[in-house]
């Protein structure tokens, strides 16, 4: 629990997703002291979502027996392109937001300084500071979830690119003429290895009459399928699921090789819900494939690791962002 000091010693991280909002209160040393969770209800529009974020933040502060004035700053990750200088969400397809002044609106509600970044950038920051102690010169974090994104850290700082959209690794084309992606292109990494892609491949295999234990576990409609169900099926010897996950891991390995050829980062960290559930089935394949595809001599000493932060990567990174801006 937090101590009774009234100093501004605490940081707040918020992870704004398409379906849920997570908020966490952190100490200066990035220990999570308390958290809260709320559904996003994006269909109610941005102003209502901001009210829900404010409630979620207030709940997390209350959970820690703190007062809002003890929070030094709030770092928030939004699922889309963001302008960190103005705190505007430029484009967030999952929320259906365009040019929304998130920083301004949230500061109005909370009366605390707010800093906005892209969600994958923020997750990468969280992994970099909390798991790696901020030590590597450079790191790329790749997050395999509903979609796929990355955050790039060069010389200890986030690299966001000319239009602030760097790290859109999910739309790197890995299979020319491959499956259609949500972005309109074909054969994107995200269309081959994201949760949506993996579940889609399993569903069409079942429609084609292929056998999987998942239908015994979840019924023929594969209702409420989760990444953890895939792990259970593989443990029970499900060859179909094993093959689909192995292929997703191979594509991830090829993406990692491309990243290593392009940026030569000291560390590549893989995270996100799909990897959290299937690390034992994916990580070794990812590392081996990356080795096979990276140009000779580019790989020496580079580490490829799985993040252990899971769902906490976003809120932890938010706290890091707030810490970096309020020193």
Q: Which is nearer to Zn ion, 2 or 183 (CB)?
A: 183
CB contact at 8 A, 188 and 173: yes
Q: Which is nearer to Zn ion, 57 or 197 (CB)?
A: 197
Per CB under 5 A, 172 contacts Zn ion: no
* Number of amino acids touching Zn ion (CB under 5 A): 5
Per CB under 5 A, 32 contacts Zn ion: no
Q: Which is nearer to Zn ion, 133 or 184 (CB)?
A: 184
**Per-position b or e across 19-51, b if 16+ CB within 10 A of its CB:** eebbbbbbeeebebbbbbebebebeeebeebbe
Least Å distance between CB 79 and Zn ion?
A: 15
Per CB under 5 A, 323 contacts Zn ion: no
Question: Please, which residues have CB within 8 angstroms of residue 230's CB and are 6 or more apart in sequence?
Answer: 198, 202, 214, 241, 245, 277, 278
Sheet hosting strand 157-158, strand order edge to edge: 157-158, 148-154, 138-144, 267-271, 303-306
Considering all CA atoms of the chain, what is the largest pairwise distance in Å, rounded to the nearest integer? Answer: 63
Q: Which is nearer to Zn ion, 64 or 92 (CB)?
A: 92
Per CB under 5 A, 183 contacts Zn ion: yes
* The pairing of beta strand 71-78 with beta strand 114-118: parallel
Per CB under 5 A, 181 contacts Zn ion: yes
Distance CA 57, CA 319 (A): 12
Distance CA 265, CA 261 (A): 9
Give the Cβ contact number of residue 139 at 10 Å. Answer: 26
Per CB under 5 A, 171 contacts Zn ion: yes
Binding track, positions 210-229, relative to Zn ion; x by CB under 5 A: --------------------
Per CB under 5 A, 188 contacts Zn ion: yes
Q: For Zn ion, which stretch binds (CB under 5 A), given 45-53, 186-194, 255-263, 282-290?
A: 186-194
Per CB under 5 A, 174 contacts Zn ion: no
Least Å distance between CB 165 and Zn ion?
A: 13
Q: Which is nearer to Zn ion, 113 or 187 (CB)?
A: 187
| Contact positions vs Zn ion (CB under 5 A) | 171, 181, 183, 185, 188
């Amino acid at each position: 629990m937090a101590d009774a000091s009234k100093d501004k010693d605490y940081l707040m991280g918020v992870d704004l997703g398409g379906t849920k909002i997570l908020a966490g209160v952190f100490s200066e040393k990035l220990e999570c002291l308390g958290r809260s969770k709320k559904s996003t209800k994006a269909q109610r529009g941005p102003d209502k979502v901001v009210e829900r974020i404010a409630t979620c933040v207030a709940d997390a502060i209350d959970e820690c027996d703190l007062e809002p004035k003890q929070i030094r700053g709030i770092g928030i990750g939004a699922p889309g392109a963001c302008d960190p200088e103005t705190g505007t969400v430029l484009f967030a397809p999952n929320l259906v937001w365009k040019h929304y002044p998130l920083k301004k609106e949230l500061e109005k509600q909370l009366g605390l300084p707010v800093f906005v970044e892209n969600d994958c950038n923020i997750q990468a920051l969280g992994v970099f500071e909390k798991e790696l102690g901020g030590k590597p010169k450079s790191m790329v974090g790749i997050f395999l979830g509903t979609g796929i994104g990355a955050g790039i850290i060069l010389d200890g700082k986030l690299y966001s690119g000319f239009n602030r959209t760097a790290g859109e690794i999910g739309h790197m084309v890995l299979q020319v003429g491959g499956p259609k992606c949500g972005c309109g292109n074909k054969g994107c990494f995200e269309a081959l290895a994201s949760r949506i892609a993996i579940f889609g491949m399993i569903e069409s295999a079942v429609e084609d009459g292929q056998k999987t234990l998942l239908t015994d576990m979840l019924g023929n409609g594969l209702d409420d399928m989760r990444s953890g169900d895939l792990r259970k099926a593989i443990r029970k010897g499900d060859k179909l699921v094993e093959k689909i996950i192995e292929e997703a891991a191979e594509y991830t390995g090829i993406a990692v090789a491309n990243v290593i050829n392009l940026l030569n980062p000291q560390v590549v960290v893989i995270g996100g819900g799909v990897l959290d559930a299937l690390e034992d089935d994916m990580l070794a394949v990812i590392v081996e494939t990356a080795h096979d595809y990276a140009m000779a001599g580019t790989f020496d000493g580079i580490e490829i690791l799985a993040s252990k932060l899971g769902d906490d990567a976003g809120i932890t990174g938010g706290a890091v962002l707030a810490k970096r801006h309020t020193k």
